[in-house]
Amino acid sequence: MQQELNDFMDEQKIAIEQELHYRLTNLDIPERLKDSMLYSVEAGGKRLRPVLLLAAHRAYSHGSDAPFGPAIALEMVHTYSLIHDDLPAMDNDDVRRGQSTNHKKYDEATAILAGDALLTYSFEMIAGDPGLTDNQKASITTSFTQASGPKGMVAGQILDMKAEDREITLDELEHIHILKTGALLRFAVSTGAYLGGADSGQIRHLDTFAYYLGLIFQVQDDILDVTGEAEKLGKPVGSDAVNDKNTYPKILGLDGAIRKKFDYVKQAKEALNQAGAKSTYLSMLTDYFSTRDY
């Protein structure tokens, strides 16, 4: 089962990266802007969001083409959010995925503009996708703005900043993660399923599934910062505690965080069972999210 998921993830990752490369290298724009956009988009990563979108599509589709337009739009928006998050005024990070952050490699102004450009261009990936009907384009664009904008990811970022210097409750922590990380994951799952032909009842269950999947992703991130191996993670462990960050282990203890994770996994799988998916990739991805070691 693990091998089957690995093969699926590798295959999708390659296709996603080819699409991203093609869409960006063919842009007729100033070189410095293009270079800085490509630099961050091609910095690697697991491409979990577009993989999830394509897995959700596969779970319902009867042979319709894989929706690469929305999938790469999603990865572009994720990348823009990392570039802006890393800026000195935000998290002030110099290194991401083992290489200089965008503003260290180029400069702050270029990083701000590269993020703005990726965000804007992502909407063209949807509106200009010949594989989508006009009705699908309008529907997906609306849910995409809701997931990534002031009602979704951007709201999560501002709440996260405001929570930095104080103790927060588990409810508050979950609320921040559901917006900051969860909104894009929910968009991934519901959009893939919608384009694959899932009905509205199935999509409702999938949205519950993706809600918990986002929390699983985050609690495992926090757990790995305590128990992970720096070499595998590509970053030092224990930095959350040093920086006194609001994490699951801080609020619940390590054992409590692990118990919480298994509770989330149970809830995610219950919702998934009710959603009538044809394939098992979403179930396998749930296990992957909860057991990953990097």
Which of 16, 87, 88, 3 shows the shortest CA–CA distance to 46? 16
By the rule CB under 8 A, 94 interacts with a second copy: no
Closest by CA to 271, choosing from 186, 196, 207, 193, is 207
Of 171, 211, 255, whose CA–CA distance to 163 is shortest? 171
Provide, for the chain, the percentages of residues in helix, strand and coil under a 3-state DSSP scheme, each rounded to the nearest 5.
75, 0, 25
In the list 7, 10, 107, 244, the residue contacting a second copy (rule: CB under 8 A) is 107
CB of 141 to a second copy, least distance (A): 4
Q: Can you list the positions of beta strands (E) in 63-157?
A: 95-96, 99-100
* 3-state secondary structure at position 57: helix
User: Nearest approach, Cβ of 190 to a second copy (angstroms)?
Assistant: 16
Q: Which of 124, 167, 199, 244 binds a second copy (CB under 8 A)?
A: 124
Examine residue 22 and tell whether it contacts a second copy (CB under 8 A): no
Encoding tokens for residue 20?
């991203």
Question: Smallest distance, Å, CB 30 to a second copy?
Answer: 5
Q: How far is the CB of 179 from a second copy (least distance, A)?
A: 9
Nearer to a second copy, 137 or 269 (CB): 137
β-partners of residue 96 are 99
Q: How far apart are CA 119 and CA 240, in angstroms?
A: 29
How would you class 128 by CB atoms within 10 Å of its CB: exposed for 0-12, middle for 13-18, buried for 19 or more? Answer: exposed
Q: Which is nearer to a second copy, 151 or 266 (CB)?
A: 151
Q: Interface mask (CB under 8 A) for a second copy, residues 145-174, using x and -?
A: xx-xxxx--xx-xxx-xx------------
Q: Considering beta carbons, is residue 156 or 192 the nearer one to a second copy?
A: 156
33 binds a second copy (CB under 8 A): yes
Do the Cβ atoms of 27 and 117 come closer than 8 Å?
no
Q: Which residues make up the interface to a second copy (CB under 8 A)?
A: 27-30, 32-34, 37, 80, 84, 87, 89-90, 103, 107-110, 112-113, 115-117, 119-121, 123-124, 126-128, 133-135, 137-138, 141-142, 144-146, 148-151, 154-155, 157-159, 161-162
